[in-house]
Amino acid sequence: MSGLRILVGVKRVIDYAVKVRVKPDKMGVVTDGVKHSMNPFDEIAVEEAVRMKEKKVASEILAVSCGPQQCQETLRTALAMGADKAIHVLVDPKDYTNMQPIHVSKLLAKIATDEKVDLIILGKQAIDDDCNQTGQMVSALLDWSQGTFASKIEKKDGTLDVTREIDGGLETINITLPAVITTDLRLNEPRYATLPNIMKAKKKSLTTKKPGDLGVEIKSTQQILSVEDPPTREAGQKVESVEELVGKLKEGGFVKS
Amino acid sequence: MFSRINRLYSVSNKTLLQRFKSTLVIAEHNNEALTPVTLNTVTAASQIGDVTCLVAGENCGKVAEELSKVAGVTKVLVADSAAYKGFLAESLTPLVLAVQKQFNFEYLFAPASAVGKSLMPRVAAKLDVSPISEITGVKGEDTFVRTIYAGNAIQTLKTSDAIKVLTVRGTAFEAAQTSGGSGTIEQAPSVEEKNNKTKFINQEIHKSDRPDLASARIVISGGRGMKNGENFGMLYELADKMHAAVGASRAAVDAGFVPNDMQIGQTGKIVAPDLYIAVGISGAIQHLAGMKDSKVIVAINKDPEAPIFQVSDYGLVQDLFKAIPEMSEQV
C-alpha cells in the first residue's frame, strides 16, 4: 500500500484555554472576538498523517474544513504542519449555525470519493459541540471500516493495526483499507509549524467549494431551544488541618466515625 | 368541571403515549455481566416508554437473564454469535438495523461509553438521522439536554428525526433496579451482512480490585502534583481504606504516572460520585468537565490560588505528601 492518499478533517473551534461565555439571549455562546484555533484532536490527526508521509506510507495529504471564511486560517495551519493541499467547504453563517456532524460527514464522504482517498483521519471529537460522531458517520456512509479513539496506528501488510483507548484499558483491532480513524490524545505530540513552513503554506493549493457543489443540503433536524450556564456550585470552605477535613468527611458519612 | 375532565384526559393521554413509545436499549456487557451504565441507560429510556433491550455477544445468555429481571425492561432480544466478539461497530450495526427494521423503535439508546460512542453514530448515519450524544436529561419525547464546551454550557435541543438515536451519560441518571422486572427473552432477528472489514485482535484491561471509576461512590484523583507513578501508592492506600476508586488528571496520564483509562475529564471519563477528592490537581477546565457534578468535592493542593478551590466544598491548602499519609492514618 505504498502511497496512501489521506484526508484529514480540521475544525476551527474556540481555543481550548478560553472560558466560554453564554450569550444573554441564551441561544449560544459568544464567539465574536474570541480566540479560535484548530480543534486539538484535529492537530493530532494532521500530525499522524504527516508522520505517515514521512515514513513513506502516505503519498499525499488533503486537509478539509467545512465552515465560514475564517476556516481558511485553520487550513493554512494544517498546510504549514505538512498537508499538501486543502479544500475549504465554504458554508454561509446562517447554514453554519444549523450544521450538524451528519452534514459534515456527507461532505467529507463525497470529497473522499471524488479525491480517491484511502484513509480518513479525524479527531475523535470537537471540543465545542463534544459530539464524537463525525468519524463514525463518515465511515458508515462510505461503508468503510472504522478505528475510533486511536492511540497507535501500525501498518501491517495491506491493513492497519489500530490500538484503541476503551473503558478499562486498551484494545487492538485490525482494519482493512479504505478506512476512517479518529484520534485520541495519546496518539502523538503535534509539531509546531515553523515560520518557513508557514510561508511555504501560503503557496500551497487551497480550493473553495460550496456544499451545493458536493450535492449536500444543510437542513437541520435539530433545533436548539436554549444554551445556559451550568449551575454554579456554592462557595466552599477552607479547612485548616487534616483532622478538620476528616471530621467533615465523618459528618458527611464518607468515613466511619 | 371542564378542568377536571381535561386533567383526566391529559393523564390518560400520557399513559397512552408511554405505552406506544417504543425504546430499544443496546445493553453493554462483557458476556458475563451487565456493565453498570446499562442500568442508568434503562432509566433514561423508561422515561419515554416501554424498554426493549438488545444483548449481542458470545455466550451472553446469562446477561440476558440478568437483564430480564431489571425493573422497566419488558423484552430482551438476544443475538448470540461469535460474530459479536469484541463488540465491533461494523458487526453490531447490521444487527441493530435488522432489529430496527423488524420492530420499528422510535428511540435507540446506548450508554455513552467507548462501545456506545463507536456504534451509535454509525447506526444513525445508516438511518440518515442526527444522533444526540451524551444526554444528561429527558425533557420531553423529542427534547433532550446535553452539555457542550466541556460542560461549560448546557444545551437543550429538540429533534424532528423520526428515529431518535441517543447516547446516555450514565452519571446523569439513577441506575434501574436489578430486580422486579419480568421481561420476556426472545431471539433477535438473524443478520445476513457479515463484517469482514475489521477484526478484533485483543484487549488489555487493567485489572483492579477497587470499585469501577464510573460508578464508584468515592473517587480519589491525583494530578501532576503527585510527581511520579510510585507516589500514587499513597492514593491507592487511602482509596482502599475508603473503598474508593482512583482517577487521574490528564497531566498525570501524559506524564506516564498512571494508565490512560484512569483519566477523568472532557476527553476521559465523566464521573459524579458522592465524594471526589482531588489531590495535586490544579483544576483546568477540561478536568472540571469530568467531575464537577460530584456531590461533595474536596481539594488538597499546596497552591491556594489553584482553580480547583473555586469548586471544592472543602479545601485544604497543604503539601499532599504530608496530608495524604496523615489522612490514611485517620480514616
Q: What is the pLDDT along chain B (331 residues), one digit of tens a residue?
A: 344 444 444 444 444 455 578 999 999 999 999 999 999 999 999 999 999 999 999 999 999 999 999 999 999 999 999 999 999 999 999 999 999 999 999 999 999 999 999 999 999 999 999 999 999 999 999 999 999 999 999 999 999 999 999 999 999 999 999 999 999 999 999 898 888 899 999 999 888 889 989 889 999 999 999 999 999 999 999 999 999 999 999 999 999 999 989 999 988 899 999 999 999 999 999 999 999 999 999 999 999 999 999 999 999 999 999 999 999 999 8
Give the helix/strand (H/E) hosting B201: strand B198-205
Closest CA to B324 of B247, B226, B245: B226
Q: What is the pLDDT of residue B4?
A: 44
The mean pLDDT values, 10 residues at a time, for chain A of 257 residues are 88 95 96 96 98 96 98 98 98 93 98 98 97 98 98 93 94 97 95 96 98 96 96 89 96 87
Instruction: State the nearest Cα–Cα gap between A207 and chain B, in angstroms.
Output: 27
CA distances from B264 to B4, B213, B230, B274 (A): 51, 9, 19, 15
pTM of the model: 0.92
Residue pointed to by grid coordinates 515560520 = A195
Residue A201 Cα, gap to closest chain B Cα (Å): 30
User: Do residues A232 and B291 make contact, with C-beta atoms less than 8 angstroms apart?
Assistant: no
Residues A154-159: contacts with CB under 8 Å, at least 24 apart: A155/A1, A155/A57, A158/A1
Considering all CA atoms of chain A, what is the largest pairwise distance in Å, rounded to the nearest integer? 70
Pairs of CB atoms within 8 A across A/B: 247
Interface of A with B in 221-250 (CB under 8 A): 221-230, 233-234, 236-243, 245-246, 248-249
Question: A133 at the B interface (CB within 8 A)?
Answer: yes
Output the pLDDT for position B13. Answer: 42
Closest residue by Cα to residue B279 from B326, B232, B330:
B232
Q: Is A189 on the interface with B (CB under 8 A)?
A: no
Q: Which of A19, A129, A137 sits opposite B122 (nearest CB)?
A: A137
* Cβ distance of A176 and B198 shorter than 8 Å: yes
Query: Predicted ipTM?
Result: 0.95
> Hey, of B139, B149, B310, which one would you mutate to test binding to chain A, going by the most A CBs within 10 A of its CB?
B149
Contact B327 A246 (CB under 8 A): yes
Cell (9 digits) for B194: 457479515
Residue B296, C-beta contacts closer than 8 angstroms, at least 6 positions apart:
A252, A254, B274, B275, B276, B313, B314
- Indicate the residue of B113, B153, B201 with minimum beta-carbon distance to A22: B153
Chain B residues inside the 8 Å CB shell of A132? 117, 121, 133
Residue B19: the pLDDT is 54
CB contact under 8 A, A145 and B133: no
User: Looking at the complex, does the CB of residue A24 fall below 8 Å from at least one CB of chain B?
Assistant: no
Which of A140, A186, A223 has its CB closest to that of B158? A223
- Measure the CA–CA gap between B217 and A253, rounded to whole angstroms: 12
Q: Are A17 and A36 in contact (CB under 8 A)?
A: no
The b-or-e profile of B269-290 (16+ CB within 10 A means b, else e) is bbbbbebbbbbbbbbbbbbbbb
Residues in Cβ contact with A20 at an 8 Å cutoff, skipping those fewer than 6 apart: A14, A29, A30, A34, B149, B152, B153
The predicted structure's pLDDT at residue A2: 62
